[in-house]
Structure 1
């Protein structure tokens, strides 16, 4: 079971729904255009939206930082003024720290920012001596900013993550923020302390989220609009093409009266007009060819039948002359023999023409029976041995010991094999005059088909001739005479007989390497062929690069 599953094509192992979707994708140019346009539009909208979001984000942060720096500057200035006013007061350092930070903390409660007073210089803002907003986690002050004030007194700022604490000192929320550091000097102890102002960016974050949602909504609506517009536009182009395809399929099926409906004067209308003109011309030419073919077939049939009566009379007179040739002088006796030979060829040609006429008229029928192709091959070889001996050709049969049966018309099958063998003798003897040459007849069968192949080592076939060899009266070398008495219709009749059985008749050949003809018949009448038990290219063929 697993091995049979592995042998299945990859497409057949997919789920049915996915296979249908892939088939629709391959066949629908409208779907491909719409999807491609939507994907490209999505990429463009994504890039533009990302750029707008970056610009909006940078603008919001820049405005917020400017406002924060201005507010910190104002708070620091007020703090300096209060400290300067407290120089003459008898306050200790702790009292000045409290008077410095408490007003700022109170304002921060109402304005939404937090404060940490760390000092003196180099002190950790998370240490015990720091004063800060109660709900603030002092770890929100970045270490990089603390290190900055250890070596510099200039105002500095950076982004941070602002964490809020509850009454038990546990973190309850976290949000992005901006921390600004500034230093002040306390008159009480002369030490420099650092003030850290922490401002949340929740409003900017909400604004950015709102802008993001707006851009996503607008982008989605835009993609839907683009998909709809693309679908409508492509439908205007694809619908006439689909109609043309359907009409073309009906024309191919033989309904030559089908035409496209022409509306408007645009390019598609002109295309429909040209298509209809082409269909009309094809219909007229096909009818002319059909009429010509009918007349030709009628002519061949009539002539063939009409020639039988005078041929019978000439045959009777020729037989009389041929029987009395011993009483004639040598020249007249030879003429009587030639007359008899040519009458035989003429009668064979007439029989072949009548057979072709029956095929053309569709009057040929099969007399089916179980035929052993091994016996057929031996009978044909025995019947053609005298001709092979004249051409110095040796006939060999390679067949299995068991019967190779096929449900077929034995008379027609024998005619096919006889035509193939005589054709091989004719060409093999022409290639090797004066020396023995072999023609091998192979027979094989499997569960579905039976085959007979004839291999010769004669002149072979040039590229392209393997298909033309079955044409009526076609000859590979028109200058070479027919020595086997052929009419030029044998392979054509063989092909018609093969098609009547639902089989294959194929040829392979190379110049100088001979030819290989293969007849393949289904074991049972009406069955379809998928393969042949004999390969078309023989094993002794020279491989070419």
Structure 2
């Protein structure tokens, strides 16, 4: 946020410097506090203990403050009661002694006030040793000087407001004041009372130190503070121990779940006791045992299924070869047969080709399932591979009235790939695009950067419905099984293509929209084993972007262009 222009230049510079240093301090604080914040997020026990300590500290602090304040108030009230009782006795005695003087100018009156103050009314302990102070004043009579039982300046203890209340208003007043006596700051409880005489009244002030009460209050505060701290620490320890009893089984369950997810199906939690946590551990172990049995059963079924597919594929090879030889012989002599028999020979030859392609695909799928598929990578130029695929599918494209457009760089595009597998992927993609192109052109685009090579195959056919871009790579899946087909594929081509892309460490993604066609993108790393982060070509075609800009009502399907995680999910 910029400083307002109307501020002076020095102020704006100071604000800029302040903002810069605040950002630096903020970054340093985030860096320093990162371990603590990370531990706070990860540790349930730490959060519970910290919250318990905070809550208990607040409660104990409030209770301790209440106890300390009430104790101090009780001590003060007790001191007030004692001072009031003593002041009443002193006032009564002094009044009886001074009532014999009828004139304030009686020459004996000052001495009588002095004798009363220093001898009769004063306590045994002096003010310097912690005793009380008695003062007698006569502010209404200028002829009488104040008399104090100790050599102490009472100006800090007897304030003008208190003198006004006692001398002029004739009221009993009290206050708590602090004064310096003997070089020490001492708190006093000061009482003032009018003293009736024969000529009017004078004022009697009684000042009692609160040293004992202050000491007792401080001891109470210290005791409450120490007890509160010990109680908070004890609550923290108890909270930590109780939380540990709950957190340890949870951590054990988390570790066991992680091991189970990693494939260690024999891992179990330890069961101690018969409480709720033990019941949880036993239930978790039972669930893990059931999951292990189901997973083992599914793995066995999957293994049997893969073995069955592989065995059947291999076993069908021998009779297929025999049938192929007979069919080839019949097909070569079809000109000598009747038209119906000749047509049957042609149909037999076509279906045998399709059956042989199906067996080849099943064998390839069984290799991927068994983990026997290996990548024979070498440095190859992808431009001739793309052109070769287009040439081989030119005949099919001519029959269905589709034009194949190539957009490839004029310079070689070298990548470390398996040429046979890349050509197979492109053959499947381009063949599907020609088949589903509805007579419109199919565009094949090749691009590369320093880390990746991308090939897109774009058609303008019926497209894909929302969600089908994730289903097209499933085995034997078809968008419209009832639709007439020209090539008679097996339904395994895209599944094998996805496995070939994954074997390269690459992506095979699909995009489509109803009535706008589809686009498939194959992305491979330039160097085998590198991790892909982005693709040189977008997954959503640029002509699709133009359609979206011209027709805002058309909503594009959710497609991840370059996210590796979502791409892996698509595959």
Category of TM-score, reference length = shorter chain: 0.7 to 0.9
Name the residue aligned to 1:413: 422
Report the Cα offset of residue 211 of structure 1.
Answer: 1.3
Question: How far apart, CA to CA, are the structure 2 residues paired with 1:418 and 1:349?
Answer: 16
Query: Could you tell me the TM-score, scaled by structure 2's length?
Result: 0.80
Name the residue aligned to 1:169: none
Deviation sequence 1:141-186 (CA, Å, 0-9, x none)? 34543453475211122333x12156xxxxx443444332222356
* Correspondent of 1:109 among 123, 126, 146: 126
2:124 matches 1:76: no
Report the Cα offset of residue 492 of structure 1.
Answer: 0.9
2:53 matches 1:53: no
Summarize the Cα distance change of 1:385–1:176 in structure 2 as closer, same or farther, 3 Å threshold: farther
Report the Cα offset of residue 251 of structure 1.
Answer: 2.1
Tell me whether 222-231 or 129-138 shows the greater mean CA deviation.
Answer: 129-138
Question: How far apart, CA to CA, are the structure 1 residues paired with 2:123 and 2:273?
Answer: 80
Q: Any residues of structure 2 matched to 1:271-420 within 5 Å, and which?
A: 271-420=280-429
Summarize the Cα distance change of 1:30–1:333 in structure 2 as closer, same or farther, 3 Å threshold: same
Name the residue aligned to 2:175: 158
Deviation sequence 1:230-258 (CA, Å, 0-9, x none)? 22222223223332333322222222222
Q: Residues 270 and 281 of structure 2 are in contact (CA less than 8 Å); yes or no, is this contact kept in structure 1?
A: yes
Deviation sequence 1:258-308 (CA, Å, 0-9, x none)? 233334333233323222222222222222222211221111112212222
* Correspondent of 1:14 among 27, 31, 56: 31
SS in 2 for 1:109: coil
Q: Residues 194 and 204 of structure 2 are in contact (CA less than 8 Å); yes or no, is this contact kept in structure 1?
A: yes
Q: Any residues of structure 2 matched to 1:458-473 within 5 Å, and which?
A: 458-473=461-476
Question: How far apart, CA to CA, are the structure 1 residues paired with 2:283 and 2:534?
Answer: 43
Deviation sequence 1:386-442 (CA, Å, 0-9, x none)? 33344444433444555444321111112122222222333332xxxxxx5343333
Tell me whether 465-474 or 142-151 shows the greater mean CA deviation.
Answer: 142-151
Question: How far apart, CA to CA, are the structure 1 residues paired with 2:555 and 2:69?
Answer: 65
Report the Cα offset of residue 456 of structure 1.
Answer: 3.4
Name the residue aligned to 1:502: 505
Q: Residues 454 and 521 of structure 2 are in contact (CA less than 8 Å); yes or no, is this contact kept in structure 1?
A: yes
Q: Residues 405 and 443 of structure 2 are in contact (CA less than 8 Å); yes or no, is this contact kept in structure 1?
A: yes
Q: Any residues of structure 2 matched to 1:21-170 within 5 Å, and which?
A: 21-87=36-102, 90-91=106-107, 94-103=110-119, 104=121, 109=126, 112-121=131-140, 130-132=146-148, 133-136=150-153, 138-149=155-166, 152-160=169-177, 162-164=178-180
Question: How far apart, CA to CA, are the structure 2 residues paired with 1:173 and 1:394?
Answer: 109
Deviation sequence 1:448-469 (CA, Å, 0-9, x none)? 3222233334333334333332
Summarize the Cα distance change of 1:101–1:489 in structure 2 as closer, same or farther, 3 Å threshold: same
2:245 matches 1:236: yes
| Structure 2 gap ranges (5+) | 1-22, 549-553, 557-571
Deviation sequence 1:120-159 (CA, Å, 0-9, x none)? 2499xxxx96554433351343454345347521112233
Name the residue aligned to 2:491: 488
Summarize the Cα distance change of 1:157–1:451 in structure 2 as closer, same or farther, 3 Å threshold: same
Summarize the Cα distance change of 1:212–1:301 in structure 2 as closer, same or farther, 3 Å threshold: same
Question: How far apart, CA to CA, are the structure 1 residues paired with 2:327 and 2:319?
Answer: 12
Question: How far apart, CA to CA, are the structure 2 residues paired with 1:502 and 1:223?
Answer: 57
Question: How far apart, CA to CA, are the structure 1 residues paired with 2:365 and 2:145?
Answer: 118
Summarize the Cα distance change of 1:387–1:153 in structure 2 as closer, same or farther, 3 Å threshold: farther
Name the residue aligned to 2:452: 449
Tell me whether 375-384 or 72-81 shows the greater mean CA deviation.
Answer: 375-384
Deviation sequence 1:42-93 (CA, Å, 0-9, x none)? 2221222222222222222222222222232233223212212445994256
Q: Residues 439 and 457 of structure 1 are in contact (CA less than 8 Å); yes or no, is this contact kept in structure 2?
A: yes
Deviation sequence 1:487-543 (CA, Å, 0-9, x none)? 111111111112211222223334444433322222222222333333444452546
2:231 matches 1:222: yes
Q: Residues 348 and 487 of structure 1 are in contact (CA less than 8 Å); yes or no, is this contact kept in structure 2?
A: yes
Question: How far apart, CA to CA, are the structure 1 residues paired with 2:406 and 2:296?
Answer: 48
Q: Residues 449 and 520 of structure 1 are in contact (CA less than 8 Å); yes or no, is this contact kept in structure 2?
A: yes
Query: Could you tell me the TM-score, scaled by structure 1's length?
Result: 0.84
User: Superposition RMSD on alpha carbons, in Å?
Assistant: 3.2
Question: How far apart, CA to CA, are the structure 1 residues paired with 2:244 and 2:371?
Answer: 46
2:189 matches 1:178: yes
Summarize the Cα distance change of 1:392–1:206 in structure 2 as closer, same or farther, 3 Å threshold: farther
Q: Residues 137 and 165 of structure 1 are in contact (CA less than 8 Å); yes or no, is this contact kept in structure 2?
A: no
Tell me whether 472-481 or 373-382 shows the greater mean CA deviation.
Answer: 373-382
Summarize the Cα distance change of 1:77–1:499 in structure 2 as closer, same or farther, 3 Å threshold: same
| Pairs aligned (count) | 517
Question: How far apart, CA to CA, are the structure 1 residues paired with 2:499 and 2:28?
Answer: 37
Question: How far apart, CA to CA, are the structure 1 residues paired with 2:509 and 2:122?
Answer: 101
SS in 2 for 1:174: strand
